[in-house]
Chain A
Amino acid sequence: MSDFSLDDELVHEYLAESREHLATIETDLLAMEQAGAAIDEQLVNRVFRAAHSIKGGAGFFDLSKIRELAHKTENVLDMIRARQLVPLPEVVNILLLAFDQLSHLIDSYSTSNDAEISVFLNALTNISAGSLTSEQQTLLEQPASSAVPELKDFPEVTAFDLDQAVRAGKRVYIVGFDLLHDIQRRGKTPLAIFRLLMNCGQILDSAVDLQTFGTLDDEQVPSVVLQVLYATTLDAFNLSQLMELESEKIRIAVDIAPAAVAGPPAQAPPVQAPPVVAEKKEPAKAPPAPEAEAANPSSGDGGESRAQNGSGPAPSEATVRLNVSLLDSLMSLAGELVLSRNQLNEALASQDQREISASAHRIGLVTSELQEAVTLTRMQPVGTLFAKFPRLVRDLAKDLGKNVQLKLEGGDVEIDKSILEGLSDPLTHMVRNSVDHGIEPPDVRAAAGKPSMGTITLRASHQAGQVVIEVADDGKGLAGEKIAASSVAKGLISAAEVQAMSDREKMALIFLPGVSTASTVSNVSGRGVGMDVVKTNLDKLGGKIEIESNPGNGSRFLIKLPLTLAIIPSLLVSQAGERFAIPQVSVGELIRIPASKIAERLDRAGNAEILTLRDRLVPLLRLADILGEPDSRGADRAMNIVLLDAGGSEYGLVVDQLHDTVEIVVKPLGRHLQGIRDYAGATILGNGEVALILDAVGIAERSGSMGGAQAASASREVGEETRELQSLLIFHNGPNEPCAVPIELVKRVEKLDPSRVENLGGRRTMQYEGQSLPLVMLKDIAAVSDLEMSQQWVVIVFERAGLPLGLLAAEPLDLIETAADLDTVTLRQPGIAGSVILGGRTTLMVDIFELAASMPGREGSLQVRAARTQRPVTEHQGQAAAKTPTVLIAEDSDFFRNQILRLVESVGYNAFAACDGQAAWELLTEHADEISLVATDVEMPRMDGLSLTRKIRADSRFSGLPIIALSSLAGEEEIARGVAAGVSEYQVKLDRDLFLDSIRKSLEVAL
């Protein structure tokens, strides 16, 4: 009969439904356990019904093992419902295991009949038997057919089952459905029939009567009879009406006395029930508490599964559960699309150009919306993932003898399905870790004055435009020392390296492969596989992980996931007619200051604007400035301010206009725009236009001082590249040819009358401080336009190798602080290092060193430049090399590297340059004898400056080698870290004089 496959679709419907039931059972069982003896009948009924419908279907499809197991769980649940059994943890445990096994059986239903499930069956039988009277136990062992011979077709049903049904005041029927005539021909499905039956009673068992099968030779259409052993309070007439069955297809197996039905409702069934025998017509038994299903048909299975919509985990990867309203909106969008297409066809037929373009426009709009709605179908609440953790925590805690409660927050936060799936493993691992390593055993907790119940919190939220998932526990926290010791013991890092590490860095070692803090290996964790895998998995999702820990008080892991595909409510603002979206999470409040009040509310500190807001001072930034545009807003207009929260620090963003708050779909920017931190992505607005999404933290960073250091340090913790600010002097060459030089190279700028320029011996000079200042024009060396007489000329004075040099340029001048990338390709030419976009304009970055080298009489240095690109140092410089000190420069930014290189060379040192710590280390070991000083950036990829320093300090060959750390950030903490790592001196990047001074001093000391 197992070959008898009615319909694959039916099987799948059954399986899907069973999975749905199983998905909710776990939570309910845990709640039952929590409630203990104070039974919530609703809850028990729900689980009971779930087990029940699984059993019913299994009988139908002849999945005997599934049926058997479901049946046994049902028995236990029935007893709990009847308050014959208290759902103690041991009981619930066995039920959980049994339902787990059911899940497995259902997942591999085709082979489930061969599965070995006796362990589960015995365990379940033991529970029920343990709480039964001996009489009931006897009944349990007797097949129902011993009492009612007609029931021989149902060998699985025991006399106990019958007894239970009768005690509940039910009649027991054998209902014979003809699958072809009664079900298929009437347009019904077997599942629908089962549902109907279960709403009004209890299916004890079901079987297909093999005897009734015809053969192909039969002339008559064969009938396939499904026999259902059914217990219900309905009488035979009502039952046949309900099932639309002829009354002869319903046979009564066990009846009750009509008198009893009318009897008064009573408490529990009497213990001294008469033995259940079919012939018995007068059992003096109380009528039942009404069956929940019968009394409450509306809460039947149909309603139940709808209520679960969207929160049940997807049964398999191939399907997604959708909110009906979303489906509706998809449908209506599809409808609109069809409509627009028809309009387009008509317009095409009539060649109505206006109508054609109008339709095309409509189709465009609808398509965008449709696309957005389809994207939404991928969004799933985090709660579906969280749902598995209560069980996990409970089981683990039990195994480990700990008391742990789990708190779930923010389950409604939605993320992309694929991210959610990828998150499952890492999160599981971290929760396991928290239970195993984090939370202490109860006695330890008590000794530490903590409540014996440990708490683990799983929290999801939107923060700063990201989805943040937090795993926090109030356990013992991470011991940086212990992790470090373990890492050293495993040979992952050296003890010397550890010494120079901050506690936070030590904690981060946990992400190295093979590190574990558990001193003993448990079957849960501590085998040294783990956090590195977590990190790798999160990396794949584009996520970041941060650790915060307070030894003794617990630890907090923050997983930050990218916005990719996330839907976020955002505020739309506009600046100079362009729209931008700001994620609502970073918006504090909106402030409008009338023109008349601006003077009163606004203050200035130097160049910084400050807003007075209810006794607070809030720094203000102008979006126009951030975008590098002129501020079009007149002082006479009201001011619109968006108060933003940039990861701890607060500032106001001045914008032209405020618009609505809308839900936007975040789309990633292409790789050409990846590095720009001001944006968190882009989105498509209702009108089809693209708007950039502003990143509150990124903007604060660009603005420099404010919140910048904080944000920068935060991003460093998660290993992101920090962008360094540089101050540039902007000037013009041709009227439309903006150029820039780093301000620290400039000595002074003076207005100049062109007539003061003297042309002597083919060289331009001017009188300057009593000397003859050589002058150079950009066009002398680069292919740029000429300075025009109509412009206001200036001379920018530089000093190179102690000699002054003037560059002729034109106004307007400006000073800009920027982190923009130098493009060293597109516009590169002699004299021009490359270009940056400043204020929306491509600006040429002038290479002063090349300019100077091009001056007549300085050809020597020009040669140097040409050689520098490829040739190794030793070939080039002859005997001078031995005496001239050589500086090794490690710096990842091309711009800074070149600047430092030139600076060092300009004062006559030799130099090697490397683009990161690793390359620097290789150069250093290769040229160990030559290098007499190392100047290194702190933030670098592959190996950062501090690691490089530690590595150098740990090597005896380089004892006494001066190391100067260069950084654009030099807070006290940075300096302390630098000193701890073994840095000789800490210099702020490109403070030219100080830097050269410090090189000089360091070399003197060293030599």
Chain B
Amino acid sequence: MNDERRNPAAGPRASDGVSSLLASFAVSDSFYALDASTVQEVIRVPSLTRVPHAPPSVLGIINLRGRIVTVLDAAIVLGHEKSALGRDSRIFVVEDRGEFIGLLVDRVADVIEYDPSAANAVPANVPREQACFYRGIHLVNGRAIALLNAEQMLSAALAGVAVQQPTTRAAA
């Protein structure tokens, strides 16, 4: 919700006919969406190379046409149980600050049109660390879809350094 102002979909684009599209996906039993323009492509899960000692959210690395792409488990990043690879598992390839990063999701859902009137604020009970990467909750056919801020989310997955502020704490 902090980022509602920055949400491109809420801007003039929605009204001038070029309404933005959201690519939605399912992780566990929840639905999420990313601005479709940030998603480069959606691929099946290729042969994945595990990286021992990587942060927990990192599933491994893949070869995407000669590029090494880090694949994160969206489930872990979003606070679910680790995903099990299934038939419907897909990787959303997202470009963030010049780097391609893969997000493993359980299932690809619809591409939906962004409707600002259907957006709600992020509920208060979303954990603080995660709230920063929600842009809002979107209702489609009575189902809640959380619109994600890819940049924030990918940063948060950087092994627990991104979200935590440098501490100067005090105590008794």
Contact = CB atoms under 8 A, between A and B. Distances in A.
Interface string B33-59: 000000000000001011111111110
Interface stretch (B4-12, B15-23, B111-119, B156-164): B156-164
Contact of A826 (B77, B99, B154, B167): B77
Chain A CB within 10 Å — which of B65, B82, B162 has the most? Answer: B65
A827 B56 contact: yes
B122 interface: no
Contact of B66 (A368, A823, A868, A872): A368
B169 A676 contact: no
A923 interface: yes
A168 interface: no
Interface string B57-101: 110011101111110100011010010000000000000000101
Contact of A840 (B50, B67, B69, B160): B50
Nearest to B162: A825
Given A823-B57, A826-B57, A689 B169 contact: no
B129 interface: yes
A675 B159 contact: yes
Given A670-B70, A821-B160, A682 B171 contact: no
B81 to A, nearest CB: 10
Contacts of B101: 670, 672
A678 B55 contact: no
Interface string B146-162: 00000000101111111
A864 B168 CA distance: 16
Contacts of A842: 56, 76, 82
Contact of B65 (A367, A626, A669): A367
A684 B68 contact: yes
B90 to A, nearest CB: 18
Contact of B61 (A367, A629, A682): A682
Contacts of B161: 821, 894
B172 interface: yes
Most buried by B among A628, A629, A676, A825: A825
Nearest to B170: A873
B55 A690 contact: no
B171 to A, nearest CB: 4
A131 interface: no
B166 interface: yes
Interface in A349-389: 367-368, 371-372
A348 interface: no
B53 A820 contact: yes
B55 A923 contact: no
A628 B67 CA distance: 26
Contact of B171 (A667, A691, A826, A876): A876
Interface stretch (A106-114, A741-749, A909-917): A909-917
A826 B75 CA distance: 10
A282 interface: no
A667 B53 CA distance: 19
A97 interface: no
Nearest to B72: A672
Given A671-B99, A820-B53, A682 B68 contact: yes
Nearest to A874: B170
Given A673-B58, A690-B63, A837-B56, A867 B172 contact: yes
A821 B55 contact: yes
Contacts of A367: 65-66
B166 A919 contact: yes
Interface string A648-683: 000000000000000000011111110110110110
A689 to B, nearest CB: 5
Nearest to A865: B171
Nearest to A681: B68
A828 interface: yes
Contacts of B162: 825
A678 B170 contact: no
Contacts of B154: 672
A826 B79 contact: yes
Contacts of B53: 627-628, 676, 678, 702, 820, 837
A834 interface: yes
B168 A578 contact: no
Interface residues of A, number: 73
B164 A894 contact: yes
A285 to B, nearest CB: 68
A864 B171 contact: yes
A910 B171 CA distance: 6
Interface string A812-838: 000000001111111110000011110
A688 interface: yes
B157 A672 contact: yes
Contacts of A903: none
A742 to B, nearest CB: 16
Contacts of A822: 159-160
Nearest to A828: B129
B101 to A, nearest CB: 6
A905 B170 CA distance: 10
B43 to A, nearest CB: 12
B134 to A, nearest CB: 15
Contacts of B49: 578, 682, 689-692
A998 B63 CA distance: 53
Contact of A894 (B65, B99, B160): B160
B169 A923 contact: no
Given A678-B52, A689-B47, A668 B68 contact: yes
Contacts of A919: 166, 168
Interface string A117-135: 0000000000000000000
Contact of A690 (B62, B99, B129): B62
A669 B61 contact: yes
Contacts of A627: 52-53
A977 interface: no
A825 B170 contact: no
Given A673-B51, A682-B49, A825 B164 contact: yes
A897 interface: yes
B169 A868 contact: yes
B171 A905 contact: yes
Contacts of A689: 47, 49, 63
Contacts of B160: 821-826, 834, 894
Given A840-B52, A910-B171, A821 B82 contact: no
Contacts of B79: 826
A877 interface: yes
B55 A672 contact: yes
A884 B172 CA distance: 9
B75 to A, nearest CB: 10
A843 to B, nearest CB: 9
Interface in A825-864: 825-828, 834-837, 840, 842, 864
Nearest to B65: A367
Nearest to A884: B172
Contacts of B156: 825
Contacts of B50: 578, 840
A137 B168 CA distance: 86
Contacts of A922: 168
Contact of A912 (B57, B163, B164, B169): B169
Contacts of B65: 367-368, 371
A880 interface: yes
Contacts of B171: 864-865, 867-868, 873, 876, 901, 905, 910-911
9 contacts: A672-B58, A678-B52, A689-B63, A691-B49, A821-B161, A823-B160, A874-B170, A884-B172, A914-B168
| 10 closest residue pairs by CB, A with B | A873-B170, A670-B70, A868-B171, A371-B66, A824-B160, A877-B172, A627-B52, A823-B160, A690-B49, A915-B166
Interface of B: 47, 49-58, 61-63, 65-70, 72, 76-77, 79, 82, 99, 101, 129, 154, 156-164, 166-172
Given A668-B68, A672-B55, A821-B161, 7 more contacts: A670-B70, A673-B61, A821-B55, A828-B129, A837-B53, A880-B172, A884-B172
